Structure 1
Amino acid sequence: MAKRTILVVEDEESLLKLESILLTSKGYEVIGVPNGLAALDVLDKEKVDLVLLDIMLPEIDGFEVCRRIKNNPETQKLPVIMLTAKKSHEDMSRGDEVGADWYVTKPFKSAKVIETIERFIEGAP
């Protein structure tokens, strides 16, 4: 079985490393990028199975990245999990509006992130 690939979009370098190590240790391929424009660029060139997306990013925020992913026929079925410190009701509602599939708030428990990812990609072809 081919390894599943996860695109991690996180501008905080230490968190990007932590998330990458966590996911790699669970057998996933990880592509890590520090901003939304880089994420969209990767999605134009690579096939990924899931996007783990921060909201507070330089240039364009995670809400806009998610909106573009979900509005693109090539990527609209791609699961997007928001992983963010923004946890107000308004932020979560905005995540729903742009098509986010799930919302995990920081600080997060590694087991919860892995469990959420597995739920979304376990049945993927």
Structure 2
Amino acid sequence: MGKNKILVVEDEESLLRLESILLTSKGYDVIGASNGQQALDAVISDRPDLVLLDIMLPEIDGFEVCNRIKNNPETKGIPVIMVTAKKTGEDMARGEAVGADWYITKPFKSAMVIETIQRFLP
């Protein structure tokens, strides 16, 4: 059995690096993307098992990225976990409306991210 592949979409380079190190240390293969278009391209070309998705991104925001992933028959089964500083009820409702499977607010504890991922990946 191969390693699970996780796409981390984060425009803040230091956070992208931190999340990548954390996930790699837990045995996951990590693909990074720093904007919405890169994320959509990576979902098609790399077929990740799960997406950790920031909302505030350049070009295409995380809500739209999630919406496109969930509305594509080829990618709709990929779990999408929103990881964001946007924590109002309205933001969470919007995340749910576009098909996000889970919502983690920043700042987050690494253990919470790992536990959430393990809920979705065997």
For residues 1-125 of structure 1, the aligned pairs below 5 Å read 1-122=1-122
Counterpart Cα distance in 2 of 1:120 and 1:113: 11
Per-residue deviation, residues 62-111 of structure 1 (Å, max 9, x unmatched): 00000000000000010000000000000000000000000000000000
Identical-residue share of aligned pairs (%): 75
Shift of 1:47: 1.7
Counterpart Cα distance in 2 of 1:45 and 1:60: 18
Per-residue deviation, residues 32-83 of structure 1 (Å, max 9, x unmatched): 0100100101112112100000000000100000000000000001000000
Consecutive unaligned residues of structure 1, counting only runs of 5 or more, are: none
State the SS of the aligned residue for 2:120.
helix
Consecutive unaligned residues of structure 2, counting only runs of 5 or more, are: none
Deviates more, 1:94-103 or 1:39-48: 39-48
Cα RMSD after superposing both structures: 0.5
Counterpart Cα distance in 2 of 1:47 and 1:67: 16
Counterpart Cα distance in 2 of 1:35 and 1:101: 20
- Matched residues, number: 122
State the SS of the aligned residue for 1:17.
helix
Shift of 1:28: 0.1
When normalised by structure 2's length, the TM-score is: 0.99
Q: 1:82 is matched by which residue type in structure 2?
A: M
When normalised by structure 1's length, the TM-score is: 0.96
